[in-house]
């Protein structure tokens, strides 16, 4: 029977192990597998390794070959934060391929929407460079795949704590992919200023909201309501992808933002409503970062409940909406040549 919320959850992605003490550890996925495997109401979507042709939609073949060459080797170092284990090549291809399969299932109306719980994460991976725990840019591969199968306009909404430099750069000259990012700033990886708005034919198709440490539910809620959703509506996406990182949670050990599950629920609700209004309900979330196991578990559950329509918009718990004013003024100034904001 068609309908429901699809889920990609595949233990083969546990085989990527960047080493003892690394925050992007297999336990992040293990705890989700244990908690969600038997959850009623979710439709399992079988993952498969992405092909090299699919990865090459957004990546340099030389990077693909370098990651492929890591297979079976104890450790290959891509940058100080990014290293592989013998199983990383397969895990990384399953992450990208699982997300493609989920997007296909949504396009074919086999499921209404879904979430791909994948690792390694993707949004820092550049055309020719693995970095920031990321080998291949899963969400970018999916967006490029959607275009190839006829989806005209895709929005990628990235609420991970970090700026998705890879995703921005892969699409910053592309008028058909709107990249939206909320992130702590200045912070790793250093990109994501409000004035980075896209280039050439892609001018106005990058929307950055750089937030100081301490921003929480209220600032995120106001930003979605006043800037993100209005611009996305004007763009009128045919598909909504969410780079769902949960390191923006107040409990995360790497970040300084202060979002709670109530804030995640509010952002997820805004994304679902945007998809319903513009994209025939087509929305898929993909796991990016998040390094506190309870925060990831809570965030993923909130996202799933929102996709399933089980959750109403909760009251925000943290932050102060007025503090968002100066950042939103800068964003409006940068975006005003392209959108009514």
Contact positions vs Zn ion (CB under 5 A): 160-162, 245, 247, 289
Phi, psi torsion values for 17, nearest 5 degrees: -135, 105
Other Cβ atoms closer than 10 A to 93: 27
In this complex, which beta carbon is closest to Zn ion, that of residue 5 or of residue 206?
Answer: 206
Q: C-beta of 119: minimal distance to Zn ion in Å?
A: 12
Q: C-beta of 289: minimal distance to Zn ion in Å?
A: 3
* DSSP single-letter state for residue 238: S
Angle, CA 60 vertex, CA 107 and CA 139 arms, to 5°: 30
What's the rounded Cα separation, in Å, for the pair 196 and 190?
A: 12
Which entry of 16, 59, 124, 169 is annotated as an active-site residue? 124
What's the rounded Cα separation, in Å, for the pair 206 and 338?
A: 11
Name the packing angle between helices 261-278 and 293-307 (round to 10°): 30
In this complex, which beta carbon is closest to Zn ion, that of residue 49 or of residue 245?
Answer: 245
Other Cβ atoms closer than 10 A to 340: 9
Phi, psi torsion values for 99, nearest 5 degrees: -65, -40
In this complex, which beta carbon is closest to Zn ion, that of residue 172 or of residue 247?
Answer: 247
Residues 6+ apart with CB under 8 A from 34: none
Q: C-beta of 188: minimal distance to Zn ion in Å?
A: 8
In this complex, which beta carbon is closest to Zn ion, that of residue 174 or of residue 249?
Answer: 249
124 catalytic residue (yes or no): yes
Q: Specify the pairing of strand 82-84 against strand 76-79.
A: antiparallel
In this complex, which beta carbon is closest to Zn ion, that of residue 101 or of residue 292?
Answer: 292
What's the rounded Cα separation, in Å, for the pair 83 and 134?
A: 9
Q: C-beta of 275: minimal distance to Zn ion in Å?
A: 23
Other Cβ atoms closer than 10 A to 34: 11
Q: C-beta of 245: minimal distance to Zn ion in Å?
A: 4
In this complex, which beta carbon is closest to Zn ion, that of residue 145 or of residue 162?
Answer: 162
What's the rounded Cα separation, in Å, for the pair 305 and 115?
A: 11
Q: C-beta of 58: minimal distance to Zn ion in Å?
A: 19
What's the rounded Cα separation, in Å, for the pair 53 and 156?
A: 22
Residues 6+ apart with CB under 8 A from 336: none
What's the rounded Cα separation, in Å, for the pair 218 and 224?
A: 10
Residues that are catalytic: 124
């Amino acid at each position: 029977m068609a309908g429901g919320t699809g889920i990609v959850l595949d233990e083969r992605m546990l085989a990527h192990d960047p080493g003892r003490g690394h925050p992007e550890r297999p336990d992040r996925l293990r705890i989700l597998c244990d908690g969600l495997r038997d959850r009623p109401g979710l439709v399992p979507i079988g993952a498969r390794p992405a092909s090299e042709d699919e990865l090459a939609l957004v990546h340099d073949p030389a990077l693909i070959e370098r990651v492929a060459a890591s297979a079976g080797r104890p450790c290959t170092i891509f940058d100080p934060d990014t290293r592989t284990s013998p199983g990383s090549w397969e895990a990384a291809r399953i992450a990208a391929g699982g997300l493609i399969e989920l997007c296909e299932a949504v396009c074919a109306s086999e499921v209404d929407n879904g979430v791909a719980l994948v690792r390694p994460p993707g949004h820092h991976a550049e055309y020719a460079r693995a970095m920031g725990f990321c080998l291949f840019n899963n969400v970018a591969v999916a967006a490029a795949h959607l275009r190839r199968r006829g989806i005209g306009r895709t929005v990628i909404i990235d609420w991970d704590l970090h700026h998705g430099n890879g995703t921005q750069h892969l699409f910053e000259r592309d008028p058909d992919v709107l990249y939206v990012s909320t992130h702590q700033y200045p912070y790793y990886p250093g990109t994501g200023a409000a004035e980075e708005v896209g280039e050439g034919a892609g001018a106005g198709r990058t929307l950055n909201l750089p937030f100081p440490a301490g921003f929480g539910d209220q600032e995120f809620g106001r930003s979605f309501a006043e800037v993100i959703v209005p611009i996305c509506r004007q763009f009128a996406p045919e598909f909504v992808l969410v780079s769902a990182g949960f390191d923006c949670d107040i409990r995360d050990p790497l970040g300084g933002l202060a979002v709670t599950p109530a804030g995640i629920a509010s952002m997820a609700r805004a994304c679902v409503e945007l998809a319903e209004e513009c994209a025939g309900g087509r929305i898929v979330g993909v796991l990016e970062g998040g390094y506190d196991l309870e925060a990831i578990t809570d965030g993923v559950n909130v996202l799933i409940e929102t996709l399933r329509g089980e959750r109403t918009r909760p009251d925000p718990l943290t932050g102060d909406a007025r503090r968002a004013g100066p950042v939103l003024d800068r964003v409006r100034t940068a975006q005003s040549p392209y959108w009514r904001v």
